[in-house]
Structure 1
Amino acid sequence: MVTGQALVAKYTGGITDDSLLENGAARADSGDKEIKGPLTILLVGIDPRKSTTPPLSDSILIAHIPADMSTAYLFSMPRDLYVDIPADAKSGVRAHTGKINSAMALGSQVNGKINVRNGFQLLSKTVRNYTGIEEFDAAAIINFGGFKKMVEALGGVSMVIDMDVKSEHLAPDGKPRPRSSRCPVTSDCPHPYIGPQAYYKKSTKPVRLQPWQALDYVRQRYPYAGVPMTDYDRQRHQQQFIKAMAKEAMSKDVITDVNKMTKILDAAGESLTFAGGGNSPIEWAVALKGLNVDDMTTIKLPGGGKYASDGDYLGEEFRPAATADAFFQAVKDDRVAQFLLDNPSLVNKDS
């Protein structure tokens, strides 16, 4: 076991990139490395099929930590949220409206190559413009393969399964479900897989999930057998997953043990890119060691489909918009706790 200072001194990981942040390089060179609240952090999960494929931001989560750094509030931006995407000179993207998860993919296409950093910067600007959050104090990009390796390093996670969920993708043994011969890869079948499905039964107490189970559970968003599952359910499960991972990683037997912490970060490897304004992931972990993860609150911002005048689906929108706008203002003003006391319906039942 080692102290926080020794942990920082021994860690030499190289997965930081402060250029993800607005004025990140300048902040990193300023010598001001103090981490203090309030803090707002952008977390983006991507699922690239190939390194040559523009990455879609399948998960967009924001964590707000109040000034006293006692807890955290976690909320999501729907991947299909219909927003104004600003122009970007490097990628040649023109200002337009579209689904928010396309911003990163479009911004990543620079001079015929994939530039994930530029794509993230365009996504960050899009999110900031929409929410009014002026800047993020830290940011992270991780692909789902990296999530799986990190959970493996943790030995799994414990989560309450808040609804019955069947997997679209995996069989009960964790292997991929076979694809129907009627739905070749080149086709656009809504449910192309056949055979038995992995099943996650609703529980009232935390269930220990293997790494593949945890990642599979939080990726599901398709309805089945009358269960009206949507992307909003997936957002909630992803928030619960982040909370569960934080609880495992911030436990006393991990946060003060350099070997365990570096094992978790090394497991992510090149799958994780972190920007901490001049501070490493370990320094952030040590600074946040007093955070009460059990009190971390996950938040549901209600919404629904947005349609054009001809009935075509455009994407998602927050409804009522005034509620989301007021919540974003509460984040800016660091008064989320009071806002949620006044609007308790926004708190997920797991919090």
Structure 2
Amino acid sequence: MTKSAKRRAPLWSRLTLVFGCVFLVLSGATLVTGQALMSKYAGAVTDNTLLDEQPAEAATKKDLKGPLNILLVGIDPRDESTAPLSDSIIVAHIPEDRSRAYLFSMPRDLYVDIPSFPKAGVNAHQAKINAAMALGSQIGNGKYDVKQGFQLLSKTVSGATGIKKFDAGAIINFGGFKKIVEAMDGVDMIIDQDVASEHLQPNGKPRARKPSCQGHHRCSRPYTGPQKQYKKSNKPVHLEAWEALDYVRQRYGLPRTDYDRQRHQQQFIKAMAKQAMSKDVVTDPGKLLKVAGAAGDSLTFAGGQHSIVDWALELRSINTDDMTTINLPGGGYQPNGDYLGEKFYPEVDEFFVAVRENRVAEFLLDHPTFVNNEG
């Protein structure tokens, strides 16, 4: 594929900001002369134990070669006394030729095999994939370690997809997403369907809880009163940070529930990437440092033996136009009439084979419905 001149944002010594939100930090590091921005990105917590590995210093560094798979997890802010839930699980697959990136989501309610994990006293069993991180994070005495939980989640996603090992991983909390969008003064994205907020009023304040749902968490939909509305638009709509994060959280009332939410989260990633590479950000050193700082404070990153800058250099040719978001079809799993979670349809196994064999492009030519309609 021939790259046009405008596909990269010219800046100083050709700064590359790639992939947006998580990718903005993970691989959109800095190819600039000044060290300030690099130090901001270096502020991201780097911990290779996410991948259940020894720190990079303990291994011989090897080049990044072949197809790459990166596991990206979004969590709500949690303290060490609250089990973390992986509310957003996205895998980024980059083929060997580095021509583009493919993003696909694992539904939070996907019913999967969770392997044994002695560190947390977890026996092998079946459950919703969202439970893996919470279970794996248990360190005793009512305390939880998010990074340890990521290890079990990674093993669980590997089992579900057949991807033997992830080359990099990242955890970012949704409060971090909000900080990044705030630093960019909001984000412009297409609203592809009418969405009503389950959580917020039109002014952004939390909705009231129903009288019968006060003081406990046994209600599945505990809120009442006016709702923030997001109206379908064929043109990008400007969203403030709180609006963007609220929009991509929603699943209740949507025709395809969590599958619609997954699509919106992927669209959000692309919109943030596009915004990060816009002139409003990349030509404003102050704003760029602010964005980088917000991202770094909210991210835990593992790049195997490679730093964020190494990843930026490796993936510098990939731009927002080179990102394809994938729809993995599935539906409710009710073997005995009781809903246990979600299951992918059989053709998704073929997609995972294509990922493992580095032929996703060919698969999508034969299965065009797997490509999300971005509006």
The two structures have a TM-score, normalised by structure 2, of: 0.85
**Aligned residue among 32, 50, 73 for 1:6:** 32
> Relative to structure 2, which stretch is displaced further, 93-102 or 295-304?
295-304
Partner of 1:119: 149
- Structure 1 partner of 2:365: 341
The equivalent of 2:97 in structure 1 is 68
* Alignment correspondent of 1:46: 75
- Deviation, structure 1 residue 126: 0.7
| Correspondence list, 1:274-285, <5 A | 274-285=301-312
3-state DSSP of counterpart to 2:223 = coil
Distance in 1 (alpha carbons) for counterparts of 2:349 and 2:134: 26
Deviation at 1:342, TM superposition (A): 0.3
Further displaced range: 199-208 or 284-293:
284-293
Name whichever of 292-301 and 74-83 sits farther off. 292-301
2:85 maps to which residue? 56
2:219 maps to which of 189, 193, 197:
189
After superposition, the Cα gap between the structure-2 partners of 1:99 and 1:294, relative to the gap in structure 1 and judged at 3 Å, is same
| SS of residue matched to 1:219 | coil
Alignment of 1:256-275 (within 5 A): 260-275=287-302
Q: Residue in 1 aligned with 2:341?
A: 315
Q: Which residue of 2 aligns with 1:130?
A: 160
Contact 1:69/1:290, CA 8 A, preserved across alignment: yes
Would the aligned equivalents of 1:7 and 1:282 in 2 still touch at CA under 8 Å?
no
* 1:94-144 Cα shifts (integer Å, max 9, x gaps): 011111110110000013331211110010011111111121121110111
Q: Distance in 2 between matches of 1:138 and 1:52?
A: 27
**CA 1:327/1:7 → structure 2, altered by over 3 Å: closer, same or farther?**
farther
Q: Is 276-285 or 71-80 further displaced after alignment? A: 276-285
Mapped partners of 1:279, 1:255: distance in 2:
25
1:202 and 2:232 equivalent? yes
Secondary structure of the structure 1 residue equivalent to 2:73: strand
**Residues of 1 paired with 2:284 and 2:303: CA distance?**
21
SS across alignment from 2:169? strand
Counterpart AA for 1:301: L
Unmatched segments (≥5 aa) in structure 2: 1-10, 14-29
How many angstroms apart in 2 are the aligned matches of 1:153 and 1:347?
A: 31
Correspondences of 1:79-98 after superposition (within 5 Å): 79-98=108-127
Amino acid at match of 1:235: Q
Structure 1 residue 282 displacement after superposition: 4.3
* From 25, 30, 39, the counterpart of 2:60: 30
Amino acid at match of 1:337: A
Percent of aligned positions with the same letter in both sequences? 62
SS in structure 1 at match of 2:364: helix
Instruction: State whether residues 86 and 96 of structure 1, in contact with CA within 8 Å, keep that contact through their aligned partners in structure 2.
Output: yes
Q: CA deviation at 1:193?
A: 1.8
**TM-fit CA distance, 1:29:** 3.9
Structure 1: how far apart are the matches of 2:34 and 2:58?
A: 16
CA contact (8 A) 2:56 2:306 kept: no
- Give 1:328's match in structure 2, choosing from 343, 352, 355: 352
Deviations 1:250-282 (A, max 9, x none): 446756876544422321354310112243334
**Count of residues in Structure 1 that have an aligned counterpart in Structure 2:** 344
Distance 1:250 1:282, change over 3 A: farther
Q: Over aligned residues, Cα RMSD in angstroms?
A: 2.3
- Aligned residue for 1:243, secondary structure, equals helix
Find out whether 1:163 has 2:190 as its counterpart. Answer: no
Structure 2 CA distance for partners of 1:9 and 1:111, relative to 1, 3 Å = same
Query: Which range is displaced more, 19-28 or 191-200?
Result: 19-28
SS, match of residue 46 in structure 2:
coil
Asked if residue 290 in structure 1 is aligned to residue 317 in structure 2, the reply is: yes
TM-score, structure 1 as length reference: 0.90
- TM-superposed CA distance for 1:165, in Å, is 0.2
- 1:24 positional shift: 5.6
Q: Is residue 156–residue 208 contact of structure 1 (8 Å, CA) maintained in 2?
A: yes
Matched-pair contact (CA < 8 Å) for 2:332–2:339: yes
Report the counterpart of residue 331 of structure 2 in structure 1.
304
Greater shift in the superposed pair: 19-28 or 147-156: 19-28
